Amino acid sequence: MTNIARIGQGYDLHRLESGRKLILAGVEIEFEQGLSGHSDADVVLHSVIDALLGAAGLGDIGELFPDTDPAYKDIASTDLLEQVRQKVEQFGYKPVNVDLTVIAEKPKLQPYKSVLRRKLAELLKIDFDAVSVKAKTNEGIGELGTGRAIACHAVVSLAEIIIT
Ligand code: MG
């Protein structure tokens, strides 16, 4: 049995623009626009990173990977997530489960949910069943609803690593 020790939440939003690849949870999604940002702008992984850091009390993504630092220009967020996963592990904790709500008016993400879950499970080294991805629209309301941006909310739980 795993005793959940800590819980963290993360949120992120990036604008959509032409001429960029759309990367969500490290997966390239077919779409005519991508998310703008200093890194690959993977809004899903950024929210997961903040949730992990939040659960461990280790700060936030902007503190660890400043967007003013050229080292992180166009960096794959999968690399950032791995650094954070290791940081959390060194702190003595491992992820138990992650629950995500991705808000995108377009593209429709329902067909990608399993792919995203599989990728997140692989990146976090947890079971497929321990990853939940929920795809929502914003009902046509506001910046998200007009398809100008994609946002993601993440909650993760951590358990203490017991060395036996
Ligand atoms: Mg971000």
Q: Where are the domains of the chain?
A: 5-160
Return the bridge partners of 12, or none: 152
Cα 128 to ligand 1 centroid, rounded to whole Å: 24
5-160: CATH architecture: 2-Layer Sandwich (3.30)
Q: Rounded CA gap, 61 and 134, in Å?
A: 23
The DSSP letter of residue 109 is -
Residue-averaged pLDDT of the chain = 95
Query: Kind of pairing, strands 149-160 and 93-103?
Result: antiparallel
User: Tens of pLDDT along 109-160?
Assistant: 999 999 999 999 999 999 999 999 999 999 999 999 999 999 999 999 999 9
| Model pTM above 0.85 | yes
Q: Is a pLDDT exceeding 70 seen at residue 1?
A: no
Share of the chain above pLDDT 90, in %: 88
Q: Are 153 and 9 in contact (CB under 8 A)?
A: yes
Q: How far is the CA of 46 from the centre of ligand 1 (A)?
A: 5
User: CA angle 39-29-19, nearest 5°?
Assistant: 55
Query: Residue 12 Cα, ligand 1 centroid: separation in angstroms?
Result: 5
Question: Measured in angstroms, how far is the CA atom of residue 17 from the centroid of ligand 1?
Answer: 15
Count the Cβ atoms, other than its own, within 10 Å of residue 12: 23
Determine the distance separating the centroid of ligand 1 and the alpha carbon of 163, expressed in angstroms.
34
